[in-house]
């Protein structure tokens, strides 16, 4: 293909070199070419930078990343993105934009990870209302100055509005600003020849869909010289940019995208957008030829030439990066044996169960799917349907600890949860499909939340559903409606389930009505015969790119339980903040003393050192908590007993609300966790930090003294102590009780 030049007047051009990539998830290579993998990817970057370093004034270079690195992947479900930090630090990145998935485990977690990276992060158009700035740790712009050429490049980072609403509990104090307006403002400020920056050109990193990138590029033409986009996973280069390098059919790509990219010579040929594929499998080498100054505060971009580089197996692995990947793999497999939760009742995930009838593990899964996005959608999610085939473990998780390995074993699939708008008629058709193959143990058999289905196994395939009630309920909408109808619920940490409604409640499925359904992307694409779930793009509320993995939902759920139950154990919620801080400090003091007295592992807690430091009042556990954790599940089966809510649910708002939900034992307690915080909960994070400060002031129980003592303890004894601690801890604070059943009921034809 011939390079296309769109502006030809220049005298002394200078060349700048950018390396661009976006959306990376899997660090290990795939089997098919281009195999990718972070180690070969590092080699490709190093080789390229080495060759540029040998050049003269035309050798200035920067590596730029357009977002989505910390999630989703199997590894991320375990590390919450931590493992990506050392790998990204190998890639000589000059600037990075935060993508939607970087928020998957919450803003505090993202900030922690950013703090550990060796390069700056941008987010120009999501700003804190109070400060007018991006969240702490992120910047609005960056100025890079060529060491050889002296050219100054302004880098900005813009995102689209669409994905923000798909992030559960996106902090409400963070507000979206128009990407185009913001870019124009920043461009003017950065270019101002009498201002402090006086940049020569402006490059925008973006994390948005191609269509939005193209609109953005047109709206900011003349201000933004080049758009380097992420979020989409395909490779794309605008027609106005020259292409070089290995054969690659741009025309096919553009046709497939049905973009609005103008042809060269059409009204606005300056639409310059590059998207660099995904997943360490490809990247772009971008050469920008910059001409002489052409007026106030700008130099004209004369030519942009893009080389698409595939990461194939012919590239050698970069040894230091390969070593990090090996370490990550070891760490991940070691972490899979860690208890993350506790079940008071065996959870049945046998194929023979999940593919022929309702299973409590299936119900729990569907509950989490229904609740994952409840806060993103004003009306809540009406119900969730997943196929039994999503549960891969073919095993029963016995009463006792649940490990990360159990979760990964059951949910190895990396297809995300999606939320769609759908008519009742299509839901019914999907349910008929679910039951059609019975008694064959097909993966399509349903597991549901928010529904009660009566079906006749002897009916004709395709006409087996007798009655469908929409029970919604477990919802946990913002309106508090869930209190009347607790279905689908998990027990409180005491192991006592919420009361069952005596009669199934709900409204018959209305075939004409539109509902909001949470399901798997696989099913919404027609997998397992679910053709009725195939959904046009405009009916997606949360699409596949924005969806979370089921394994990550479980992870977040247990983290959430720990957090809210730890809070509940330690604080009288109606005290003033000051009082709460002092109390917390007091409790922790006591706790540390107890621990020392018992000669156990230090107050830092069973999970410290392997988990994010921002997660919970880590490991605090007091003997007088009286949480009832010893309650035997066998004595509470059936769920006739009331909740112990009265003892705890005397609180209002924010974390208190979450605590109340937790008492009820609902997945919606996720609302209060670090991984997904509401505004008030953010305050509570500050509160938690304050607690830690006070603890430190009051004698530093968590500090050196304690660590020293624990080191002196004998190795084996220490490990054993820690193990016991973890088990006790998850049992008290991350415990799942019996899940309400009766959602899928077999009836006989009259
Ligand atoms: Zn994305």
Question: What CATH number has the domain bearing residue 385?
Answer: 3.90.780.10
DSSP assignment letter at 503: S
Gap from CA of 21 to ligand 1 centroid (Å): 13
How far is it, in rounded angstroms, from Cα 550 to Cα 411? 7
Residue 8 lies in a domain: no
CA dist 628 → 490, 569, 573, 732 (Å): 16, 11, 19, 8
Question: How many angstroms separate the alpha carbon of residue 67 from the centre of ligand 1?
Answer: 7
Residue 7 located in a structural domain: no
Q: Which of 743, 724, 667, 728 is nearest to 492 (CA)?
A: 667
**Looking at the structure, do residues 83 and 224 belong to the same domain, yes or no?**
yes
Distance (Å, whole) CA 83 – CA 118: 14
CA angle 253-255-257, nearest 5°?
70
Of 331, 348, 369, the domain-final residue:
331
Cα of 207 to ligand 1 centre, how many Å? 6
Domain residues for the domain of 594 are: 556-736
What local confidence, expressed as pLDDT, does residue 250 receive?
62
Closest CA to 627 of 641, 639, 644: 644
The alpha carbon of 125 and the centre of ligand 1 are apart by a number of angstroms equal to: 16
The Å distance, Cα 69 to ligand 1 centre, comes to: 9
Q: Is the separation of the CB atoms in 535 and 420 below 8 Å?
A: yes
Mean per-residue pLDDT, 35-58: 95
Cα 167 to middle of ligand 1, angstroms: 11
C-alpha–C-alpha distance, residues 383 and 381, integer Å: 6
pLDDT tens column, 216-232: 998 998 899 999 999 98
Report the domain count for the chain. 3
**Of 286, 306, 331, which closes a domain?**
331
Residue 6 lies in a domain: no
Q: How far is the CA of 68 from the centre of ligand 1 (A)?
A: 5
Same domain for 169 and 49, yes or no, is: yes
591 and 694, same structural domain? yes
The alpha carbon of 497 and the centre of ligand 1 are apart by a number of angstroms equal to 38
Q: How far apart are CA 394 and CA 352, in angstroms?
A: 8
* pLDDT given at position 686: 47
58: domain CATH number is 3.60.21.10
CA of 71 to the centre of ligand 1 (A): 10
Handedness of CA 25, 29, 35, 40 (dihedral sign): positive
Instruction: Return left, alpha or beta for 538; rule: phi > 0 is left, psi -120 to 50 is alpha, else beta.
Output: alpha
613 domain residue, yes or no: yes
C-alpha of residue 230 to centroid of ligand 1, in Å: 7
Answer with the one of 269, 301, 331 that is the final residue of a domain: 331
Does residue 537 sit in the same domain as residue 561? no
For residue 268, being part of any structural domain is answered with yes
Query: Looking at the domain assignment, is residue 635 inside a domain?
Result: yes
Angle at 500 between CA 498 and CA 506, to 5 degrees: 120
Percent of the chain residues topping a pLDDT of 70: 66
pLDDT value of position 556: 77
- Whether 196 and 287 share a structural domain: yes
Task: Tell me the residues surrounding ligand 1 (ion) with CB < 5 Å.
Answer: 68, 99-100, 231
* Straight-line distance from the first to the last Cα atom of the chain, in angstroms, rounded to the nearest whole number: 71
Query: Are both 458 and 574 inside the same structural domain?
Result: no
Q: What stretch of H or E contains 235?
A: strand 235-237
* β pairing state of 540-542 and 735-736: unpaired
Same domain, 221 and 100: yes
| Region of poorest pLDDT, from 148-152, 458-462, 499-503, 526-530 | 499-503
Is there a domain that residue 142 lies in? yes
Query: Does residue 321 share a domain with residue 296?
Result: yes
487 lies in the same domain as 566: no
Does a cis peptide bond (omega within 30 degrees of 0) precede residue 213?
no
Short-list 490, 380, 387, 492, CA closest to 433? 387
What separation in Å is there between the alpha carbon of 162 and the centre of ligand 1? 11
Q: How far is the CA of 586 from the centre of ligand 1 (A)?
A: 43
Q: Compute the distance from residue 166 Cα to the ligand 1 centre, in Å.
A: 11
d(CA 444, CA 523): 9
**CA 532/CA 431 separation, integer angstroms:** 9
Measured from the Cβ of residue 672, the count of other Cβ atoms closer than 10 Å reads 27
Query: Looking at the structure, do residues 79 and 128 belong to the same domain, yes or no?
Result: yes
Residue 597 has what pLDDT? 58
CA of 625 to the centre of ligand 1 (A): 43
List Cβ neighbours of 516 (8 Å cut-off, separation of 6 or more). Answer: 377, 379, 380, 381, 382, 419, 420, 421, 422, 541
H-helix segments, 571-653? 577-598, 645-648
Cα of 72 vs centre of ligand 1, distance in Å, is 10
* 727-736 pLDDT tens trace: 776 776 677 7
Write out the two tokens for 152.
Answer: 């100054």
Question: What's the CA-to-centroid distance between 70 and ligand 1, angstroms?
Answer: 11
| One domain for residues 290 and 357 | no
Query: Which residue bears the tokens 């154990």?
Result: 569
Cβ–Cβ < 8 Å for 475, 380: yes
CB atoms within 10 A of CB 296: 10
Neighbouring CB atoms inside 10 A of 579's CB total 12
Cα(311) to ligand 1 centroid in Å equals 21
Q: Are 136 and 157 members of one domain? A: yes
Ligand 1 mean position to 208 CA, how many Å?
Answer: 7
Gap from CA of 337 to ligand 1 centroid (Å): 30
Residue 490 lies in a domain: yes
Interval between CA 175 and ligand 1 midpoint (Å)? 18
Q: How confident is the model at residue 668 (pLDDT cuts 50, 70, 90)?
A: very low
pLDDT by residue (tens digit) across 398-439?
Answer: 888 998 889 988 887 778 999 999 999 999 999 999 999 988
């Amino acid at each position: 293909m011939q390079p296309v030049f769109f502006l030809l007047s220049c005298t002394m051009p200078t060349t700048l070199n950018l390396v661009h990539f976006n959306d990376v998830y899997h660090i290990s290579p795939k089997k098919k070419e281009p195999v990718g993998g972070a180690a070969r990817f590092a080699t490709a970057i190093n080789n390229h930078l080495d060759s540029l370093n040998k050049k003269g004034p035309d050798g200035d270079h920067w590596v730029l990343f357009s977002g989505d690195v910390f999630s989703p992947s199997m590894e991320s479900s375990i590390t919450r993105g931590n493992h990506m930090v050392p790998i990204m630090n190998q890639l000589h990145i000059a600037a990075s934009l935060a993508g939607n998935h970087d928020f998957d485990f919450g803003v505090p977690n993202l900030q922690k990870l950013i703090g550990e990276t060796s390069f700056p992060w941008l987010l120009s158009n999501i700003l804190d209302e109070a400060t007018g700035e991006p969240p702490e740790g992120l910047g609005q712009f960056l100025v890079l100055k060529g060491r050889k050429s002296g050219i100054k490049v302004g880098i900005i980072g813009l995102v689209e509005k669409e994905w923000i609403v798909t992030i559960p509990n996106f902090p409400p104090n963070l507000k979206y600003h128009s990407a185009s307006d913001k870019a124009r403002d920043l461009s003017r400020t950065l270019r101002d020849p009498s201002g402090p920056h006086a940049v020569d050109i402006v490059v925008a990193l973006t994390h948005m869909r191609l269509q939005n990138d193209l609109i953005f590029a047109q709206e900011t033409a003349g201000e933004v010289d080049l758009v380097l986009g992420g979020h989409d996973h395909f490779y794309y280069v605008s027609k106005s940019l020259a292409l070089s390098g290995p054969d690659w059919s741009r025309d096919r790509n553009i046709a497939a995208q049905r973009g609005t990219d103008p042809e060269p010579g059409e009204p606005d040929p300056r639409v310059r957008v590059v998207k660099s594929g995904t997943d360490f499998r490809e990247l772009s080498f971008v050469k920008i030829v910059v001409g002489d100054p052409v007026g106030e505060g700008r130099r004209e971009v004369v030519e942009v030439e893009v080389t698409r580089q595939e990461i194939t197996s012919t590239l050698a692995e970069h040894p230091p990066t390969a070593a990090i990947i090996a370490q990550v793999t070891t760490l991940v497999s070691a972490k899979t044996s860690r208890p993350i939760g506790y079940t008071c009742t065996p959870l049945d995930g046998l194929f023979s169960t999940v593919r022929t009838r309702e299973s409590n593990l299936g119900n729990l899964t569907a509950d989490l799917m229904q609740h994952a996005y409840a806060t993103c959608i004003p009306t809540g999610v009406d119900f969730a349907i997943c196929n039994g085939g999503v549960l891969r473990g073919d095993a029963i998780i016995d009463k006792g600890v649940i490990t990360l390995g159990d979760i990964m074993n059951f949910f190895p699939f990396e297809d995300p949860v999606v939320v769609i708008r759908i008519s009742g008629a299509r839901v019914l058709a999907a349910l008929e499909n679910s039951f059609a193959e019975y008694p064959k143990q097909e993966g399509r058999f349903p597991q549901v939340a928010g529904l009660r289905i009566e079906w006749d196994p002897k009916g004709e395939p395709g006409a087996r559903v007798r009655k469908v009630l929409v029970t919604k309920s477990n919802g946990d909408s913002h309106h508090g409606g869930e209190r009347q109808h607790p279905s689908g619920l998990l027990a409180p940490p005491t192991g006592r389930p919420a009361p069952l409604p005596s009669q199934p409640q709900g409204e018959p499925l209305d075939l004409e009505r539109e509902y909001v359904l949470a399901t798997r992307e696989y099913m919404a694409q027609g997998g397992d015969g679910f053709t009725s779930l195939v959904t046009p793009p405009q009916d997606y509320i949360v699409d596949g790119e924005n969806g979370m993995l089921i394994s990550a939902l479980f992870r977040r759920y247990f983290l959430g339980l720990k957090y809210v139950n730890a809070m509940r154990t330690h604080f009288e919620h109606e005290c003033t903040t000051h009082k709460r801080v002092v109390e917390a400090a007091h409790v922790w003091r006591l706790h540390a003393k107890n621990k020392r007295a018992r000669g156990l592992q230090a107050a830092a807690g069973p999970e410290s050192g392997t988990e994010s430091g921002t997660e919970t009042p880590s490991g605090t556990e007091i003997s007088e908590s009286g949480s009832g954790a010893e309650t035997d599940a066998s004595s509470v089966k059936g769920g006739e007993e009331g909740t112990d809510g009265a003892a705890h649910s005397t609180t209002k708002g924010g974390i208190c609300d979450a605590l109340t939900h937790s008492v009820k034992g609902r997945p919606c307690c996720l609302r209060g966790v670090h991984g997904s915080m509401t505004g008030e909960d953010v305050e509570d994070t500050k509160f938690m930090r304050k607690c830690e400060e006070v603890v430190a002031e009051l004698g530093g129980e968590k500090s050196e003294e304690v660590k020293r003592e624990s080191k002196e303890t004998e190795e084996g004894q220490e490990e054993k102590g820690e193990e016991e601690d973890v088990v006790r801890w998850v049992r008290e604070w991350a415990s799942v009780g019996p899940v309400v059943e009766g959602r899928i009921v077999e009836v006989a034809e009259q």
